[in-house]
């Protein structure tokens, strides 16, 4: 019997002990409760205050046959204030026991909040270890725009995938689920033999157990926002290799999608090397892709080191888009969900650069096509890209709207028009390098762009980035 099973069996005893100690409130409280959200402008209850996570160790046991997850999360964090209690984001699932610094902790649930009360207050600056045993059938989460994330069972019920943008990761592990809190990860997944379990980073081991199960141990050494964490379980065909500069490539493709995926994925190593040339050093220790059965999701997602595709990617540009996110969104992550254009505008612009460098329309031609609504040059040129400022979506359901992508890319092209290629590409590479593995806001970018280029870009910001009116008449 493994330690995870022992921990689950011990949970009733821990609960009984906690019931006896719940009434002990006579000691002086040195800490105060951590906030139940970070007050993100669009998702105010996302994330939690009072601490920053340094590392997640997730031990997941999943059987597609019954859809049940048995798991233990060990969360290593640093207290940013004295804490009498703190919150973790967790949707659904049954919590069987919680300990902090090795001692049983009281806890309660309210909505998507798991409130933990350690046996002793945590001091400011203290590094503390929280262990949560939990289980159940994880569910999907519906976003404000109607799309589904969280834990998604793939068509036919023969696999599943965890995807988290913006807050769906709370459906399969407890944590501080806001992009401003990045951490390293170890994710171990146990599945029935014959299944593959694919996650972020590098595969440290793959072990066949005597009981007919397989254990996959994945390690992500670089910081990762929790919405970029993924686990995909399925009967994938796995291919490994390296890019020209030696970056390990790990792709897992649903067998039914292998033929249609072949051409685009064959160029993935080349795309990574191209990105290095355009954007600077690749920010992670591995790359690759996960291709799910068709119609598993309604979107592709830039999960760190291993983007997820809902069926075979239908174009090279889509693969380029998700790979470009490894620099812009994954390594340089947004400080809040209001800064989403820094992810999507850059990734869309990368598509424009890819076609510019490979015999297709130039970035300027894409820009002009948007202004003219010319869908012959760019299929997205007919979208409502001017509906709102890319830096100021009007509601949470618009953070993935057309202006965030297309008009966000147009902002970058306007900067290029103003400062010229040399300064523009120095800006792009500098932005990725100077904010590597960190977080940045729109204000950080505008200040950095003006400092790096030595130009006053007020007109670009006022008209293209923040202007409420469509800037179609503002072509220089």
**CA-CA-CA-CA torsion sign (21, 26, 27, 33):** positive
Q: Which two tokens stand for residue 236?
A: 């994938």
Burial of 471 (0-12, 13-18, 19+ CB in 10 A): buried
For the segment 371-390, what is each residue's pLDDT rounded down to a tens digit? 999 999 999 999 999 999 99
Q: What is the pLDDT of residue 156?
A: 86
Strands 51-63 and 333-334: unpaired
Q: How far apart are alpha carbons 140 and 148 in whole angstroms?
A: 6
At residue 337, φ and ψ (nearest 5 deg) are -70, -10
Pair of tokens at residue 167: 């807050």
Q: Which residues of the chain have pLDDT under 70?
A: 1-29, 473-476
Q: Are 141 and 149 in contact (CB under 8 A)?
A: yes
Beta strands in 245-293 (DSSP E): 248-253, 287-291
Question: Do residues 339 and 295 make contact, with C-beta atoms less than 8 angstroms apart?
Answer: no
């Amino acid at each position: 019997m493994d330690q995870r099973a022992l921990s689950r069996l011990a949970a009733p005893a821990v609960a009984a002990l906690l019931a006896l100690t719940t009434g002990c409130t006579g000691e002086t409280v040195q800490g105060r409760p951590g906030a139940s959200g970070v007050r993100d402008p669009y998702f105010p209850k996302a994330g939690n205050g009072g601490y920053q996570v340094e590392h997640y160790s997730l031990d997941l046991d999943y059987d597609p046959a019954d859809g049940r997850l048995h798991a233990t999360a060990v969360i290593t964090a640093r207290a940013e204030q004295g804490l009498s209690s703190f919150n973790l984001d967790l949707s659904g699932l049954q919590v069987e026991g919680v300990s902090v610094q090795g001692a049983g902790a009281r806890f309660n649930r309210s909505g998507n909040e798991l409130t933990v009360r350690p046996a002793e207050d945590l001091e400011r600056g203290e590094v503390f270890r929280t262990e949560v045993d939990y289980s159940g059938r994880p569910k999907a989460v519906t976003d404000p725009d109607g799309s589904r994330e969280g834990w998604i069972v793939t068509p036919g019920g023969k696999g599943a995938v965890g995807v988290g943008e913006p807050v769906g990761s709370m459906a399969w592990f407890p944590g501080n689920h806001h992009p401003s809190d990045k951490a390293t990860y170890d994710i171990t997944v146990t599945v029935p033999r014959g299944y593959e379990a694919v996650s972020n980073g590098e595969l440290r081991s793959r072990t066949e157990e005597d009981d007919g199960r397989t254990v996959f141990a994945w390690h992500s050494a670089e910081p990762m926002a929790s919405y970029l964490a993924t686990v995909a379980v399925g009967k994938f065909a796995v291919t490994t290799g390296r890019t020209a500069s030696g970056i390990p490539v790990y792709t897992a493709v649903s067998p039914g999608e292998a033929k249609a995926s072949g051409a685009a994925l064959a160029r993935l190593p080349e795309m990574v090397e191209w990105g290095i040339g355009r954007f600077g050093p690749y920010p992670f220790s591995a790359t690759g892709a996960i291709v799910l059965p068709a119609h598993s999701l309604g979107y592709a997602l830039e999960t760190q080191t291993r983007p997820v595709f809902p069926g075979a990617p239908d174009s090279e540009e889509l693969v380029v888009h998700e790979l470009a996110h490894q620099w812009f969104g994954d390594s340089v992550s947004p400080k809040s969900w209001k800064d989403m254009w820094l992810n999507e505008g850059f990734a869309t612009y990368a598509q424009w650069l890819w076609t510019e460098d490979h015999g297709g329309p130039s970035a300027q031609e894409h820009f002009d096509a948007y202004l003219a609504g010319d869908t012959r040059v760019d299929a997205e040129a007919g979208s409502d890209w001017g509906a709102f400022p890319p830096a100021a979506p009007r509601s949470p359901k618009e953070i993935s709207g057309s202006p965030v992508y297309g008009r966000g890319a147009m902002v970058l092209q306007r900067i290029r028009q103003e400062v010229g290629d040399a300064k523009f590409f120095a800006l792009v590479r500098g932005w990725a390098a100077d904010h590597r593995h960190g977080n940045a806001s729109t204000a950080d970018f505008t200040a950095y762009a003006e400092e790096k280029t030595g130009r006053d870009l007020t007109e670009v910001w006022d008209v293209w980035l923040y202007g409420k009116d469509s800037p179609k008449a503002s072509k220089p």
